[in-house]
Amino acid sequence: MGWYETHILPRLVDWVLRGDDVDRIRAQIAARVRGVVLEIGFGSGRNVPFLPAGVSRVVAIEPSPTARRLAGGRCAASRAPIAFMEASALALPLLDASIDSVLSTWTLCTLPDLQGTLRELRRVLVPGGRFCFAEHGLSPQPGVARWQRRLEPLHKRLAGGCHLTRDIAAELERAGFSIVRLENRYLGWPRTHMWLFLGEASRGAT
Ligand SMILES: C[S@@+](CC[C@H](N)C(=O)[O-])C[C@H]1O[C@@H](n2cnc3c(N)ncnc32)[C@H](O)[C@@H]1O
């Protein structure tokens, strides 16, 4: 990882993914988690203030030391204990069916092996466990999608591997999740970066 990815990008992400509109989404999605929560791509901990009282503890996965440092104050103020785990979301040192809820906000776009990671998340979720997500991805508008495809190679280089063209709902279903709640909408500009997938997917009962 270069100097930009190590020192600048985590601060840039912390700065971009803030504000009232983003916080309303964080509050909406984080409100649905409960019990033992696994948050992947924990970043600077901006979801922590929105975790509901029903959360007993949080397992946090965040590879960037700078982001983990930025998260320090929010973790210290958290009601539920938060423990960072040295791992990638692709290979979790967690037992099968040991997690009640997975939380992911603006992270699935970045994971290099998305299907492999989603299968790993299904493995650690309890039967009936929920995956709560706020993500961005492929727009249904052909004109916007065309620009997403054009911009994606450059955007991936500038934004830590972030894809613009992932169809998050389709990817979740392909990995075996069932979508139980989904809202799609734009959040401001540029539209190429702001087509949102907000919702909840079930691991299924088996
Ligand atoms: C765009 S940021 C989102 C941060 C945070 N979720 C938020 O909403 O502010 C994506 C995060 O995913 C993390 N990440 C990248 N690869 C990862 C992996 N394999 N496992 C877990 N997290 C990863 C990055 O370090 C980064 O902090």
- Average pLDDT on 44-49 reads 98
26 lines ligand 1 (CB under 6 A): no
Compute the distance from residue 8 Cα to the ligand 1 centre, in Å: 14
120 lines ligand 1 (CB under 6 A): no
For residue range 6-31, list pLDDT tens digits in order.
999 999 999 999 999 999 999 999 99
- pLDDT beyond 80 at 147: yes
Compute the mean pLDDT over every residue in the chain, rounded to the nearest whole number. 97
Range of the domain at 176: 3-202
Testing ligand 1's pocket by substitution, the residue of 33, 44, 107 carrying the most ligand atoms inside 8 A of its CB is 107
For residue range 77-126, list pLDDT tens digits in order.
999 999 999 999 999 999 999 999 999 999 999 999 999 999 999 999 99
**Predicted local distance difference test score (pLDDT) of residue 189:** 87
Testing ligand 1's pocket by substitution, the residue of 42, 110, 119, 198 carrying the most ligand atoms inside 8 A of its CB is 110
29 lines ligand 1 (CB under 6 A): no
Compute the distance from residue 42 Cα to the ligand 1 centre, in Å: 6
- pLDDT beyond 70 at 195: yes
Question: Is 126:97 a contact under the CB 8 Å cutoff?
Answer: yes
**Rounded to the nearest 5 degrees, what angle is found at the Cα of 108, between the Cα atoms of 194 and 70?**
85
- Average pLDDT on 175-196 reads 96
**Predicted local distance difference test score (pLDDT) of residue 38:** 98
Which position has the token pair 């998050």?
168
Question: Pairing relation of β-strands 195-202 and 55-61?
Answer: unpaired
107 lines ligand 1 (CB under 6 A): yes
φ/ψ of 38, rounded to 5, equals -105, 120
**Predicted local distance difference test score (pLDDT) of residue 1:** 74
- The whole model's pTM is what? 0.97
Confidence of residue 204 (pLDDT cuts 50, 70, 90): confident
What is the CATH classification number for the domain harbouring 188? 3.40.50.150
Q: How many distinct structural domains can be found in the chain? A: 1
139 lines ligand 1 (CB under 6 A): no
- pLDDT beyond 80 at 137: yes
The alpha-carbon radius of gyration of the chain (Å, integer) is 16
Compute the distance from residue 159 Cα to the ligand 1 centre, in Å: 11
70 lines ligand 1 (CB under 6 A): no
- pLDDT beyond 70 at 206: no
Confidence of residue 58 (pLDDT cuts 50, 70, 90): very high
- Average pLDDT on 54-58 reads 98
Cβ count within 10 A of residue 153? 9
Atom of ligand 1 nearest to the CA of 17: 9
